[in-house]
């Protein structure tokens, strides 16, 4: 599983997690990755987590370098296996 930095906390987290299974203390959790909100939180070193319920939403969120992780609903565990490399580069 690929990991990303969790803001300026010094720890890495899985890039995609099931909601409720990741410690989100101090993180900004959003439903949509809005550029201005992300930029401000990122500049402060705050971890940014985006909720997503489709492969496209995951890809869109993780395309933003400010985003630390994506949360998927518990009933969509299948999204943990999304092929982001294939979606990005067309394998």
Domain boundaries, the chain: 3-89
C-alpha distance from residue 24 to each of 9, 10, 56, 78 (Å): 11, 14, 23, 21
Nearest-angstrom CA–CA distance, 76 and 33: 20
Give the closest residue to 64 by CA, choosing from 81, 47, 44: 47
What's the pLDDT score for residue 63?
A: 92
| CA angle 70–76–80, rounded 5-degree value | 50
How many helices (DSSP H) and strands (DSSP E) are in the chain? Answer: 3, 6
pLDDT tens-digit profile, the chain (91 residues): 799 999 999 999 999 999 999 999 999 999 988 888 889 999 999 999 999 999 999 999 999 999 999 999 999 999 999 988 877 787 6
């Amino acid at each position: 599983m690929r990991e990303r930095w969790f803001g300026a906390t010094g720890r890495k987290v899985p890039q995609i997690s099931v909601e409720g299974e990741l410690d989100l203390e101090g993180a900004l959790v959003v439903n949509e990755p809005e550029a201005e909100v992300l930029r401000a939180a990122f500049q402060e070193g705050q971890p940014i987590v985006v909720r997503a319920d489709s492969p496209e939403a995951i890809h869109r969120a993780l395309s933003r370098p400010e985003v630390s992780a994506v949360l998927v609903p518990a009933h969509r565990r299948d999204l943990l296996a999304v092929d982001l490399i294939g979606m990005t580069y067309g394998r």
